[in-house]
Structure 1
């Protein structure tokens, strides 16, 4: 069974790049343009195997607020938070979460995603 990843990224070019990069490791990708859209998608279509979210996005929620809502509602759902502008220290994250600093390499992306999927 293929894992399904919810990808939350407002920048179209990066969303397409991430989606293509993740499909290289045989993942099904569902894309959202905002954290608000992601919450609706999670409510309607959960279960997902993993959520990857940018921090800075349009709408009422940013990526950190989205992650906090996910951890409250689905505590076992892993979340990867990514940003080129902010840094989140590891000790501030739950065990099933990671921070991926932009710019990242394809190898870094694949490693962190596979790490979280192996922990399911």
Structure 2
């Protein structure tokens, strides 16, 4: 993990998308915002990753449609239940959340999206004390 300023570790974001290029692009956007990133190609791999690293993870950024036993909405609900301190952003280019699909406090982004939109949503789901330095002064 990279360190910032006085040696404090950067917050960690878990990026979940089955499309490698999209996953890489989102990870790059989050790294530019001050996160260290971990990547998973489906919800099952993400849960395993979170179980091993949950104490350092501040953010889950997940796609909706993926192979495996659960979609991004189900992943978001499980993460909110098991690790309530993790901020959650759900993204999709094809599906919008229906009633009760999104956990309380999570936010949804329609694909395609740019870095500025991602940063705005990060500020919605992360309290100032959990944001990386580049996002601390944003509203």
Say yes or no: TM over 0.5.
yes
8 Å CA contact retained: 1:82, 1:99: yes
8 Å CA contact retained: 2:77, 2:103: no
Q: Distance in 1 between matches of 2:58 and 2:118?
A: 16
SS of match in other structure, 1:46: helix
- What count of residue pairs does the alignment treat as equivalent? 120
Q: Tell me, which stretches of 5 or more residues in structure 1 are unaligned?
A: none
Matched with 1:46 is 54
Matched with 1:71 is 80
Matched with 1:21 is 29
Q: Distance in 2 between matches of 1:73 and 1:40?
A: 12
8 Å CA contact retained: 1:4, 1:28: yes
Q: Distance in 1 between matches of 2:99 and 2:33?
A: 25
Matched with 1:109 is 118
Offset of 1:93 from its aligned partner?
A: 3.5
Offset of 1:84 from its aligned partner?
A: 0.5
Structure 1 residue 9 corresponds to structure 2 residue 17: yes
Offset of 1:91 from its aligned partner?
A: 7.5
Report the TM-score, using the length of structure 2 for normalisation: 0.78
Relative to 1, partners in 2 of residues 1:43 and 1:11: Cα closer, same or farther, differing over 3 Å? same
Offset of 1:86 from its aligned partner?
A: 0.7
Q: Tell me, which stretches of 5 or more residues in structure 2 are unaligned?
A: 1-7, 131-139
CA-based RMSD: 1.8
Which structure's CA Rg is the greater one?
A: 2
Q: Which of 89, 98, 105 is residue 80 of structure 1 equivalent to?
A: 89
